[in-house]
Homo-oligomer: A and B are copies of this chain.
Amino acid sequence: MILTVTLNTALDLTYGVPELVPHASHRVSEMSERPGGKGLNVARVLSVLGHRTVVTGFAGGATGAVLRELLADLSPQEPTDPGGTDAPEPGAAPAATAPAPVTDALVTVAGNTRRTIAVVDRATGDTTQLNEPGPLVTADEWAALLGRYEELLAGADAVALCGSLPPGIHVGAYAELVRSARTAGVPVLLDTSGEPLRRGIAARPDLIKPNADELAQLTGSREPMRATRDARRRGAHGVIASLGPDGMLAVTPDGIWQAAPPARVPGNPTGAGDSAVAGLLSGLVEGLSWPDRLRRAVALSTATVLSPTAGDFDRAAYEELLPRVGIEEHAPAAR
């Protein structure tokens, strides 16, 4: 099972409007509601890839209750393969299996889970984002999360720590969760930004997956190779920098690779990074080589940009893209 942690889960609302005009009134013509926060997005993609996933983090209040109902709807009522579908054929594109279950192990908090609102201009697809701050989490609730996390680590093949921190959670929270995972011997991927990323890296996670902005904020450099190497020196064993339409740069203990999609694609990049995390983690658990993991991550994230629904991926596009992702190995430079 793969564990994902989302400390600041969200009920994601998408509103379609003809065009967002500041200081005007808009009738929302189309609306959708789904469980969100980066780790929940990662779990949804892992489920489609056939990997059993457990999600933890915080949920509370009326919005938290709606989030959990929608999360329950993601899972098949009766798993079609109770033996587990953890390990599809290594290297192959996962077959079109039924989605694997996503298990809700969220910790209930007194505060209200936040909403995020994506207002999509129908003509252009351009999106305006409004994010509530999230509930104030108490010390007792954080202690309950730590207990739940330790229990879940015992059964986890890998763990992803994802997204922003809600109010009340100390900035070193991810560092604490990274250390527990390393103590438990569970590979840990950290996907956050700012000071929580800086502190988390110092606890030596197996992988981080920053984008160009997050890397620049961390290292002060916008030169991908320099910034990625700097991030490794700060403590991350492997750094997978996502470079948007240019693909990914992976600097790992085993080598350095650049992976690029066959072409630039039009679409909405929302959730592309979360799909990449799902690709990297599923590849790790399946024992794929770095080039195969990167192929999967790039194909998944490109297929997410192409999908008409933000954050979902287009399965046919994914399978078509997978063999066409270009991989280039770099000679390791002197450290």
Contact = CB atoms under 8 A, between A and B. Distances in A.
B23 A126 contact: yes
Interface residues of A, number: 30
Nearest to A63: B62
Contacts of A27: 131, 133
A131 B26 CA distance: 6
Interface in A10-37: 13, 15, 17, 20-29, 31
A28 B132 contact: yes
A129 B62 contact: no
A119 interface: yes
B24 A128 contact: yes
A127 interface: yes
Contacts of A115: 13
A117 interface: yes
A327 interface: no
A129 B66 contact: no
Contacts of A13: 115
Contacts of A28: 130-133
Contacts of A169: none
Interface in A54-94: 62-63, 65-66
**Most B CB within 10 A of own CB, among A26, A127, A130:** A130
A26 B129 contact: yes
A211 to B, nearest CB: 13
A130 B15 contact: yes
Interface string A100-126: 000000000000000101010100001
